[in-house]
Chain A
Amino acid sequence: MRKRLSMWIGGGLLVVMILIALLAPFILTGDPRALSPGSRLQPPSALHWFGTDQLGRDLFLRVLYGARISLFVGFSVALLSSIIGTAIGMVSAASRRADMVVMRVMDGVMSIPAILLAIALMAVTGGSVLNVIVAVTLVEIPRVARLIRGIVLSLREQTYVEAAISVGTPPGMIVIRHLLPGIVAPLIVQATFVWATAMILEAALSFIGAGTPPTIPSWGNILADARALWQIRPTMIFFPAAFLFVTLLSVNMLGDGLRDLLDPRQAPEI
């Protein structure tokens, strides 16, 4: 019951964040990139709720606009890596020969710490939101592919799938009617955690200067701007950090709740 409650709280907070991201251009007046050299590094005030940064940009606007990048990258990565990972996992489970090659490649990719692989990818492709999405998706695909491969391999042994094969159901039909429904629940759970990881990776990449271009107000970029100044003006770190934390917390709470609801086998509770 407590889990159910935390799922609703997590889901609710996430909806609020998504609304902020979607509505930012309509409810906010002002440009998050507008420089105002006269009002640099100001503390929070009635005029600038979160204060301003070293270029006089309004941090309230920047942080709220930052939700757009973070959630968009997280969602795109979760969607893309789910689709591609599922396809790879199924092919791998279907063909022994493909499995040999695919799983060796996946093992290799997973032996590279996620952030480092993303950094290397960003270094060769250059900073842009699209490249961040591609880089983080490539990092996450093996994790989804392995999960799906494992599930399909165990589903294939189920009597109802064997029965479907023995009465001559075409393979495409078996995938759609018998395999996909078994995959959906764990995939949704995995996708929420991929979403959270992707937002962390995006912020981390931007924070060290290998993510979204510095002109785009993403939470990682705002944190990067504050790197040299946080001791003078801690609020510059606090607000973007708090937003990132609350968003991650809400996605994780939602994911934990969904796991208990949809996929009790994977739950940590025994």
Chain B
Amino acid sequence: MLGYIVRRLLMAVPVMGVVALVVFSLLYLTPGDPAQVLAGDTATPEQIAKIRTTLGLDQPPIQRFGGWLWHIVKGDLGTSIFSGEAVTHMIGQRLEATFSLLLLAVVFSIAIGVPFGVAAAARRGSWIDGALTTYSTLGFSLPAFIAGYALAFLFATTLKWLPVQGFVPLDGGVWPWLRNLILPAVTLSLVYSAIIGRVTRASMLEVLSEDYIRTARAKGVAPWRILFRHALQNAAVPVITIIGIGIATLIGSAVITENVFAIPGVGRLTVDAILHRDYPIIQGVVLMLSAAYVLVNVAVDLCYTLLDPRIRY
């Protein structure tokens, strides 16, 4: 098992290498001088020269890539052009808000999506099955930033049940932390729970047609026990897989949604960086969140062995 964990982690290294290469090459996609583009139309020659040295654009690409990669491996993502602070430090300060939001969104999505999918599969063709189809079509058509405003308008400004905007760190108490995150997390879970619900339903339908389910029914096992003990456990692998893959969409939506709810997380940092044309920060955020995504999927792979003893490595 330990050997497998190590091997699986090593497999993630080339993927991250390609991610780094892609993020690095972006700068060279620009027609013309990247320093000029990043500095903007109103920049003075000094500002452009400063950006060029900060990003190391005065060196040949290969040499620059090597140096850049070495710094990343050492945990140095460069410094912000605008504030001069270390990018790792700036991202680090904002990780709590973003990870809180992501964590809660994953919890909500599983809590909504899995039971919904199970119910739809158990009562195939019933109103609840139709409801899941409608829910997922609506979910896929409702971008997070629109859903966010709709929920904030309904539950915050009209009903005044929850705060409109803001974030309280966990140090300030669990309830204030949770209260501020409920709306944004529900916003994010709309699409994500729809995906999870669809996959749960499909996977459950497949398992429910197996012989051992019929055997369990025949010997009089309680229906809920068949669904949740016999079927769901065996239907779990595709569900876990989609939870892992869907994290990419979730991370992307979180970056946008933070701006609807004024949450001081990585997404806000990104938007400020766009405003200030602060490319090192954008680069750092992309690398960091992609790494998080890759690691989540390594963890998902490892989960398979726990869930399904037939899968051995």
Q: Could you tell me which A residues sit within 8 Å of B by CB distance?
A: 104-105, 107-117, 119-126, 196, 200, 203-204, 207-210, 223, 227, 230-231, 234, 237, 241, 244-245, 248-249, 252-253, 256, 268, 270
Contact = CB atoms under 8 A, between A and B. Distances in A.
B141 A248 contact: yes
Contacts of A122: 274
Given A119-B274, A204-B256, A207-B145, A124 B26 contact: yes
Contact of B274 (A105, A108, A113, A208): A208
B251 A113 contact: yes
A268 B206 CA distance: 11
Contact of A116 (B37, B259, B271, B290): B290
Contacts of B14: 104
Interface string B240-258: 0000000011011101100
B93 interface: no
B153 A234 contact: yes
Given A112-B22, A113-B248, A270-B205, A245 B282 contact: no
Given A107-B15, A125-B30, 17 more contacts: A109-B22, A112-B19, A112-B23, A113-B249, A117-B286, A120-B286, A123-B38, A123-B279, A208-B270, A209-B274, A237-B153, A245-B141, A245-B142, A248-B141, A248-B143, A256-B137, A270-B205
Nearest to B157: A231
Contacts of B213: none
Nearest to A118: B252
A31 B141 CA distance: 29
Interface of B: 14-19, 21-23, 26-27, 29-30, 34, 37-38, 137-138, 140-143, 145-146, 149-150, 153, 157, 164, 198, 201-202, 205-206, 248-249, 251-253, 255-256, 259-260, 270-271, 273-275, 277, 279, 282-283, 285-286, 289-290, 293-294
Given A126-B37, A208-B259, A245-B146, A116 B285 contact: yes
Contacts of A120: 23, 26, 282-283, 286
Counting chain B CB atoms within 10 Å of each CB, which of A107, A112, A114, A252 scores highest?
Answer: A112
Contacts of A123: 38, 273-274, 277, 279, 282
Contacts of B282: 119-120, 123
Contacts of B153: 230, 234, 237
Nearest to A116: B286
Nearest to B209: A270
Counting chain B CB atoms within 10 Å of each CB, which of A107, A123, A209, A230 scores highest?
Answer: A123
9 contacts: A116-B270, A119-B286, A123-B274, A124-B26, A204-B256, A227-B260, A249-B137, A268-B198, A270-B205
A124 B251 contact: no
A222 to B, nearest CB: 12
A34 B9 CA distance: 57
Contacts of A237: 146, 149, 153
